[in-house]
Amino acid sequence: MTFVLVHGSWTDASFWSKTVAELKRKGHAAYAPEYAGHGSLYKPDVTHEQIVQSVVDYITSKNLKDIVLVGHSFGGSVIQKVAERIPDRIHRLVFFDAFVPLDGQSVADQFPAELQDAFAQLIQASGNNTIPMPYPLFRDGFVNTASDGLAKQIYQSAKPEPAAPLLEKLDLKKFYALNLPKSYLYFTSDTAAPQGDKYGFNPAQSGHLGQFRLITGNGDHMTTAYAQPAYLANKLYEAARD
Amino acid sequence: MTFVLVHGSWTDASFWSKTVAELKRKGHAAYAPEYAGHGSLYKPDVTHEQIVQSVVDYITSKNLKDIVLVGHSFGGSVIQKVAERIPDRIHRLVFFDAFVPLDGQSVADQFPAELQDAFAQLIQASGNNTIPMPYPLFRDGFVNTASDGLAKQIYQSAKPEPAAPLLEKLDLKKFYALNLPKSYLYFTSDTAAPQGDKYGFNPAQSGHLGQFRLITGNGDHMTTAYAQPAYLANKLYEAARD
Amino acid sequence: MTFVLVHGSWTDASFWSKTVAELKRKGHAAYAPEYAGHGSLYKPDVTHEQIVQSVVDYITSKNLKDIVLVGHSFGGSVIQKVAERIPDRIHRLVFFDAFVPLDGQSVADQFPAELQDAFAQLIQASGNNTIPMPYPLFRDGFVNTASDGLAKQIYQSAKPEPAAPLLEKLDLKKFYALNLPKSYLYFTSDTAAPQGDKYGFNPAQSGHLGQFRLITGNGDHMTTAYAQPAYLANKLYEAARD
């Protein structure tokens, strides 16, 4: 299989490094593109469209075909738009604890009002339309199962997140008309979105997909990619296979 | 213990073959009756009452007593009605990812409207009041954790399901007046019913029981019975014991 | 670390005996005070305030500092009030399948109406404002994953619970203004509160905390403390660490 792994917010392509290695060790091809405005390409005023374009360019420039396109967290909205652009190159979409905006919604629309308000204040204070992630929020929301040391290590990659792509209302009519196979990988200790019927990754975000294949696992939002990459690679494989 | 195992829709008594063997290996008696209209008795126009009668006849003809009566999926509605008929032969009811209609409801009433509509179209197209299960829906809804090969193998048993028993509104007043011990075995990757408060096997269907003992496990709707029968047998034992 | 473990209803400090031993074996200090009206101090007319005072007295008399204060079940409401009184001695609060009343609510307010009604009848019948726990309810609600023998053994500690502390509306304004780190340990087979968005320990009770760190585990309401104390101790450690 050929995996293309799209990371989420407050991290960069290094999020996937260990998982890429594990997938390759299992005999798959695996790519984790750095996308516009993030990591070495850091740019506070990047747009959602620029992010999508950079992933599309990556896939077409390498002429990747029949890919399993994986989106984590915010990356869910990225693979929705990439799928609209190059559906013929995609074998299956895998949403991994990912946001799945409905047509006309933003990623931020998926958050409870209190979190949207907290982000608005952080954006205001940033002066450059970014959302710096305070460590306590990161610790409790993204790496709740990690050790103290690993939590702080993972936090090193958390640059202030460009806010515009999170806030942009997305036209997803074409995505919701596509007929691509879809899986949702849900880790049951993930509280980056509040658990439950209203905001939970599963069943709320996953439910936006209509028909999908659910795979569940133990883990939180980010820790598994660092602490148990072989487990994550195996779960991605279970989500990806026919 | 004496187990009587009642299968669900889109399968037949062979669903339980490996689990019966495991229960016997543990020293229990275990029976998996083929019920009216299914498997070797396949008949598209079977009724819910005929199914119930065939299970009652099986138990009484073998003079089974003090039984743990297990219903899987649609089989939940069958054991509700069997319990009304022969409560004195039943030690405990175990609902395994089972539908538990309330009095006056059908099994299909437990599904979301979109699924009811999809089934209505399949029934219409069938010409003989059955619901053929398309493979993609079976793959994603019933065997989501299986390998590709096992998924296709399990699908072999999926004859077009007689629709009438699923659609019949059931008088369950007597069931809800019974005072039999009840357990609910819930596998947390089961998406045959959409997960969550409204349609999920747990807590929505289980909650219909009032007081019950919850046992949870890893697995989806059907795969465990084929891939991990010893695990399933052990979970059934945990659900069944006093 | 220094753990102070506050038990719930229908049990006493012996609930924690094995967990205390495991925490000590891992090199932590661990205390499980018997609180007013329970265990050897059994008194049907104890008040919530007397319970809280007895825990405060225990901690201050031993001059314990920088403690991880753990509350199980009803004990959640106790640690809320203890935290109001001696916040400077507390490093982190850990709610373990605990009730977390909002300001002005009682613990009983967290139960569904039917359970409140059932308790009202048991109180009425008791003649001394206690709630005797019928074994079938205890078996299904508190120790659902236990063996028959262990379930009965655990039930030995279940004296009729003084009702007043469960029914008292609590002023929790100060608690909700505190800024202490909080974790919630949720065991996914726990049905002491009905699972789901409305009454479930997670996400309903946990959600009252606002920001918190979620740790999940396998287990029911009480069994793990007796059958797998090392596992529980490890989960408490994961919830407690920075």
Quickly list DSSP for A145-210.
Answer: TS-HHHHHHHHTT-PPEESHHHH-----HHHHH----EEEEEETT--SS--STTT-IIIIIHHTTS
Predicted pLDDT of residue A13: 98
Q: Where does the pLDDT of residue B232 fall: very low under 50, low under 70, confident under 90, or very high at 90 and above?
A: very high
Ranges under pLDDT 70 in chain A: none
For residue A101, the model assigns a pLDDT of: 98
List the structure tokens of B110. 């437990």
B56-84 tens-digit pLDDT: 999 999 999 999 999 999 999 999 999 99
Partner residue facing B213 (CB), from C144, C188, C195 = C144
The amino acid that residue B88 corresponds to is D
Under the banding of pLDDT at 50, 70 and 90, the label for residue C112 is: very high
Contact A39, A14 (CB under 8 A): yes
Any CB–CB contact under 8 A between B120 and chain A?
no
List CB contacts (< 8 A) between A1 and chain B. Answer: none
Locate A207 and state its tokens.
């439910």
Q: How near does any CA of chain A get to the CA of B85, in Å?
A: 37
Q: Return the closest-CA partner of residue A44 out of A135, A164, A124.
A: A164
Q: Which chain A residue shows the shortest CA-CA distance from C200?
A: A196
What's the average model confidence in pLDDT over C150-177?
A: 97
Within the 153-192 window of chain C, which residues sit less than 8 Å (CB to CB) from chain A? Answer: 181, 188
E strand residue ranges, chain B: 2-6, 29-31, 67-72, 90-96, 130-131, 161-162, 182-187, 213-217
Burial C122-144 (b: 16+ CB within 10 A, else e): bbeeeeeebbebeeeebbbbbbb
Would you call C202 an interface residue with chain A, using a CB distance cutoff of 8 Å? yes
**d(CA C67, nearest CA chain A) in Å:** 17
Instruction: Tell me, yes or no, if C203 comes closer than 8 A to chain B by beta carbon.
Output: no
| Host H or E run for residue A17 | helix A17-25
CB atoms B197 and C196 under 8 Å: yes
Q: What's the pLDDT band for B90 if we cut at 50, 70, 90?
A: very high
- Which amino acid, one-letter code, is at A90? I
Interface with C, mutate which of B93, B187, B189, B213 (most C CBs under 10 A): B213
A87 prior amide bond cis, ω within 30:
no
**CATH superfamily to which B2-240 belongs:** Alpha/Beta hydrolase fold, catalytic domain (3.40.50.1820)
| Cβ-based contacts of B181 with chain C (< 8 Å) | 136
Q: Judged by CB atoms within 8 Å, which residues 213-242 of B form the interface with C?
A: 213-216, 238, 241-242
Residue A219, phi-psi category: left (phi > 0), alpha (psi -120 to 50), beta (remainder): left
Q: Which residues contact B203 (CB under 8 A, 6 or more apart)?
A: B197, C194, C195, C196, C200
Q: Pick from C140, C148, C188: which is nearest to B212 by CB?
A: C140
Q: How much of chain B, in percent, has pLDDT values that exceed 70?
A: 100
Whether residues C211 and A147 touch (CB distance < 8 A) is answered with: no
Chain C residue with minimum CA distance to A198: C197
Question: How far apart, in whole angstroms, are the C-alpha atoms of residue B76 and residue B71?
Answer: 4
Determine the pLDDT at residue A81. 98
Nearest to B191 among A214, A238, A241 (CB): A214
With beta carbons under 8 A apart, name residues in chain B contacting A242.
Answer: 148
Q: Do B195 and A202 touch (CB under 8 A)?
A: yes
The per-residue pLDDT for A189 is 98
Report whether A195 contacts B197 (CB < 8 A). Answer: no
* pLDDT mean over C1-29: 98
Which residue does chain A place closest to B197, by CA atoms? Answer: A197
The ipTM assigned to this model is 0.96
| Element counts in chain B: helices (H) and strands (E) | 11, 8
Quick one: how many helices (H) and strands (E) in chain A? 11, 8
Residues of chain B in contact with residue C145, where contact means CB-CB under 8 angstroms, are 215, 238
Q: Specify the pLDDT at position C240.
A: 98
Q: Which of residues 139-158 of A touch B (CB under 8 A)?
A: none
Encoded tokens for C110 = 């967290």
Percent of chain C with pLDDT over 90: 100
Helix H or strand E encompassing A60 = helix A48-61
Residue B143's pLDDT is what?
98
**Are A241 and B148 an interchain contact pair (Cβ–Cβ within 8 Å)?**
yes
Q: Where are the domains of chain A?
A: 2-240
φ, ψ (nearest 5 deg) of residue B172: -120, 20
Taking Cα atoms as reference points, which of B67, B32, B21, B9 lies closest to residue B226?
B21
Structure-token pair, residue A158? 């958390």
* A136, A197, A220 member nearest C197 (Cβ): A197
CA distances (Å), origin A170, targets A55, A164, C68: 17, 12, 45
Confidence of residue B124 (pLDDT cuts 50, 70, 90): very high
Residues of B in contact with A212 (CB under 8 A): 140
The DSSP secondary-structure symbol of A37 reads B
User: Closest by alpha carbon to B176, among B214, B210, B213, B212?
Assistant: B210
Distance from CA of A218 to the nearest CA of C (A): 9
A204, A207, A213: residue with CB nearest B140? A213
The 10s digit of each residue's pLDDT in C3-15 is 999 999 999 999 9
CB C163 within 8 Å of CB C46 = no
Residues from chain B contacting residue C189 (CB–CB below 8 Å): 214-216
pLDDT value, residue C220: 98
Residue partners of A194: CB distance under 8 A and separation at least 6: A112, A200, C203, C207
Contacting partners of chain C (3+ CB pairs under 8 A):
A, B
* Minimum CA–CA partner of A182 in chain B: B140
C41-89 pLDDT per residue, tens? 999 999 999 999 999 999 999 999 999 999 999 999 999 999 999 999 9
Nearest chain A CA: its distance from C213 CA (Å): 5
Cα end-to-end span (Å), chain C: 11
